[in-house]
């Protein structure tokens, strides 16, 4: 025990160092990364947006970042599966904490998120965000597109999120259509995986419906994504309700007939060739969870997102 420390989130000597906290103790940041608002020397930022005022059914995703952080503690020290290594050894990563939002003035929320995300992206190369409901992806997309240009959207979801929108709504079900109309994403290169509902328009985005995902292998789904997106810069968003409620009950708008966490994690693992410029995992609502199973799924998705990012960087010597 002489060389071990606790509370790595505040005692870490390096942004790439591994933690030695017991899984059941210590300050909880995402995977024990250092909690800091300093972006000096940082490659990758983990950030929480505790917002759920845009939900159309059950609220509670404002508690998602806390739940994901708690569930992520189990990953903090061992080489991360399926990457066979410490994904932070070559990737200076911090937990930037949460976005400060005025809960009594939701019309200010989009600009606040976009402004803070742009500040992070000005210094860091990659931002992985924990929601919050799916509306938070709209200002995140705007901030990323301002840096990288129109993006291919790779969306894991039970819903298309293309409902009618007047451009001012605070609504988690319409941001994709808005992003197409405003030129933030390229619909010809975008793809939605796991859709199990219908919306009035698809905007030319390719859809792999729930029954497609059921019939295809994980390798076939990953190949379809890579083939459709090609070499385009992409943004990866994962609504936890893409998973069947048997695997993720803790969410606001659950839809039966979805894939397992094992299958979609295998899909994510097959996307190493994807040029992902930013990502998020959203709609974890722990009040409806059981035994932290949704939070664990969300934390694992987030860890895979960071593992994919780490795999595109030079290995530490």
For 177-193, write each residue's pLDDT tens digit: 999 999 999 999 999 99
Q: What is the pLDDT of residue 317?
A: 56
Distances (CA, A) of 96 to 28, 183, 307: 12, 29, 18
3-state secondary structure of 266: helix
Grade residue 2 by pLDDT with cuts at 50, 70 and 90: low
Question: What is the average pLDDT across 95-114?
Answer: 95
Residue 85: strand pairing partners: 80
pLDDT digits (tens, 9 = 90+) for 138-181: 999 999 999 999 999 999 999 998 988 887 888 887 899 999 99
Strands (E), the chain: 34-35, 44-49, 93-98, 126-131, 152-156, 191-195, 206-209, 234-239, 276-282
134: annotated binding-site residue? yes
Please indicate if the annotation marks 228 as binding a ligand.
no
Answer yes or no: is 177 within a domain: yes
Q: Which helix (H) or strand (E) holds 26?
A: none
Residue 277: which of 159, 120, 111 has the closest Cα? 120
Q: Which strands, in side-by-side order, build the sheet including 34-35? A: 34-35, 93-98, 44-49, 126-131, 276-282, 234-239, 152-156, 191-195, 206-209
The stretch 37-60 carries a mean pLDDT of: 94
Q: 239 a known binding residue? A: yes
pLDDT digit string (tens) for 218-245?
Answer: 999 999 999 999 999 999 999 999 999 9
Number of Cβ atoms within 10 Å of the Cβ of 23: 12
Across 72-97, b (16+ Cβ under 10 Å) vs e yields bbbbbbeebeebeebbbebbbbbbbe
Q: Does 157 appear as a known binding residue? A: yes
pLDDT (0 to 100) of residue 203: 94
What pLDDT does 1 receive?
Answer: 52
Answer yes or no: is 144 a known binding residue: no
Closest CA to 309 of 281, 280, 274, 282: 274
Range of the domain at 117: 8-311
Looking at every residue in the chain, the average pLDDT score rounds to 94
User: Would 100 be classed as within a structural domain?
Assistant: yes
Tell me, what CATH number does 284's domain have?
3.40.800.10
* Residue 211 included in any domain: yes
Are residues 218 and 202 in contact, defined by beta-carbon separation less than 8 angstroms? no
161 annotated as ligand-binding: yes
2 domain residue, yes or no: no
pLDDT for position 167: 79
Model confidence pTM above 0.75? yes
**Is 317 inside a domain boundary?**
no
**Domain contains 202:** yes
pLDDT at residue 288 greater than cutoff 80: yes
Residues above pLDDT 90, as percent of the chain: 82
* Closest-CA residue to 50 (of 135, 119, 154): 135
- Please check whether residue 3 lies inside any domain of the structure: no
Tell me the C-alpha distance between 91 and 303, whole Å. 13
Structural tokens at position 212: 């497609």
Strands 44-49 and 93-98: parallel
Question: Could you give phi then psi for residue 113, rounded to 5 degrees?
Answer: -65, -45
Question: How many domains is the chain built from?
Answer: 1
Q: Tell whether the model's pLDDT for residue 25 goes beyond 60.
A: yes
Does 287 fall in a domain? yes
């Amino acid at each position: 025990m002489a060389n071990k420390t606790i509370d790595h989130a505040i005692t870490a000597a390096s942004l790439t160092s591994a933690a030695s906290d017991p899984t059941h103790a210590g300050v909880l940041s995402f995977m024990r990364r250092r909690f800091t608002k300093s972006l000096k020397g940082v490659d990758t930022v983990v950030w929480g947006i505790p917002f759920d005022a845009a939900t159309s059914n059950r609220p509670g995703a404002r508690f998602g970042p806390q739940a994901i952080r708690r569930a992520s503690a189990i990953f903090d020290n061992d080489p991360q599966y399926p990457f066979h290594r410490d994904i932070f050894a070559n990737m200076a990563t911090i937990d930037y904490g949460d976005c400060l939002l005025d809960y009594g003035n939701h019309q200010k929320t989009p600009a606040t998120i976009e402004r803070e995300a742009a500040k992070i992206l000005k210094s860091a190369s990659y931002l992985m965000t924990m929601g919050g409901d799916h509306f938070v992806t709209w200002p995140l997309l705007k901030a990323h597109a301002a840096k990288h240009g129109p993006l291919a959207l790779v969306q894991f979801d039970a819903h298309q999120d293309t409902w009618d929108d007047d451009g001012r709504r605070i609504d988690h079900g319409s941001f994709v259509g808005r992003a197409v109309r405003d030129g933030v994403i390229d619909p010809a290169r975008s793809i939605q995986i796991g859709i199990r509902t219908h919306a009035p328009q698809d905007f030319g985005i390719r859809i792999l419906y729930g029954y497609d995902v059921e019939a295809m292998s994980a390798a076939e789904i990953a190949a379809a994504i890579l083939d459709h997106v090609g070499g385009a810069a992409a943004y990866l968003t994962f609504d936890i309700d893409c998973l069947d409620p048997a695997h993720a009950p803790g969410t606001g708008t659950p839809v039966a007939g979805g894939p397992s966490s094992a299958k979609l994690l295998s899909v994510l693992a097959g996307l190493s060739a994807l040029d992902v410029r930013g990502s998020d995992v959203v709609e974890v609502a722990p009040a409806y969870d059981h035994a932290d199973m949704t939070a664990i799924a969300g934390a694992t998705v987030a860890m895979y997102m960071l593992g994919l990012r780490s795999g595109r960087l030079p290995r530490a010597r």
